[in-house]
Amino acid sequence: MGRFNRIGVLTSGGDAPGMNAAVRAVTRLALLKGIEVFGIYNGYRGLIEGEMEQLGERDVSYIINRGGTMLYTARSEEFKTKIGIDKAVETCRKFGLDGIVTIGGDGTFRGAVELTDAGVPCIGIPGTIDNDVASTDATIGYDTAMNTVVELVDKLRDTGESHSRCNVVEVMGRESGDIALNTAIAVGAVCAVVPEMPTDFDKLYTKMITARKNGKRNFIIITSEGVGKDYCEHLCDEIREKTGIETRFVRPAHIQRGGSPTLRDRVLATQMGCAAVESLVSGQMKRVVCLRGSAIETMDIHEALYLDKMMKNQLTKEEEDLIPPNRLYDMRRMVADRLALKEYLNYMITNIVL
């Protein structure tokens, strides 16, 4: 592969605190290596329509502390079609882009695969508050979102204590219960309801009734949005019926996506942004940058997408047959480890928090 002289960077899907830090790192390191950088606005839609401009060092100043994404984000149905892909490739040729760094979730990575197959090398950076990209231990924005939830629930607990209430709080995460499980521990919740495992509600209600008799005034229950629409409203009704405790429902919703990124997200985004540039200029493509333990690594995007499907029990037999046996073993072990961690977190909530 020839030298990279000019690359693009885009953010796609839902925004996440820390995306700006990743854009900053990609831009600064690429410029240091003598590579021109073009910021692509509004994700893949902007790529199709040619919404981009060249970025200099000062263009990414004072953004590391800002939430959201300076490049904005938008979803594109057209990009999911061959015509849309062809338009995007033509735009890359028009602007002379030799490759693209894409920042987002699994949908963003699928787009990166399509572009690479069409002749535009891409590297993916996981940016989503949901932490539902199975190939990485943490995604950009995840830590900030959890801290936002903790701050909000701490305030909610103050009024819950005053009025002797139970509050059911629905947090984001899509099909992943990571935000719910971790924040439940951090705020002293009596339960976390997540898609990955069942909840023993009879045990929960008995626990709440006993705690109330022993003087506990407030209760917090954290639920993940992945358990279903209108689930929390029905749960509130059931809690009132089974325990007699006044119960209110709270949905922080998109507040969880906003705000200045935490130190952890700023550092992680910077590490991943630099790794993406290094990978791209070394000739790697169709890779996802991942955090494994304390190390920043890359993984084949196809494997990363298969791993996501495996985690969500959506991997087909045909797709499984495409994975080499040794890699299939590794991927199954990764899924088992993640599920075991979730079960351990849930164990602590269920048996330690009162």
Query: Is residue 19 classed exposed, middle or buried when 0-12, 13-18 and 19+ CB atoms within 10 A define those classes?
Result: buried
List the strands of the sheet with 99-104, edge to edge. 52-55, 36-40, 6-11, 99-104, 122-126, 287-292, 295-300
The residues near 56 (Cβ < 8 Å, ≥ 6 apart) are 31
Active site residue 130: yes
φ/ψ bin of 187: left (φ > 0), alpha (ψ from -120 to 50), beta (otherwise): alpha
Query: What residue ranges define each of the domains in the chain, with the CATH number in brackets?
Result: 6-141+261-302 (3.40.50.450), 145-257+340-352 (3.40.50.460)
The position carrying tokens 């059911």 is 168
Catalytic residue among 130, 143, 178, 308: 130
Distance separating alpha carbons of residues 303 and 299, to the nearest angstrom: 7
Per-residue pLDDT of the chain (354 residues; tens, 9 = 90+): 457 899 999 999 999 999 999 999 999 999 999 999 999 999 999 999 999 999 999 999 999 999 999 999 998 999 999 999 999 999 999 999 999 999 999 889 889 999 999 999 999 999 999 999 999 999 999 999 999 999 999 999 999 999 999 999 999 999 999 999 999 999 999 999 999 999 999 999 999 999 999 999 999 999 999 999 889 999 999 999 999 999 999 999 999 999 999 999 999 999 999 999 999 889 888 899 999 999 999 999 889 989 999 998 999 999 999 999 999 999 999 999 999 999 999 999 998 866
Alpha-carbon torsion 292, 195, 264, 54, what sign? Answer: positive
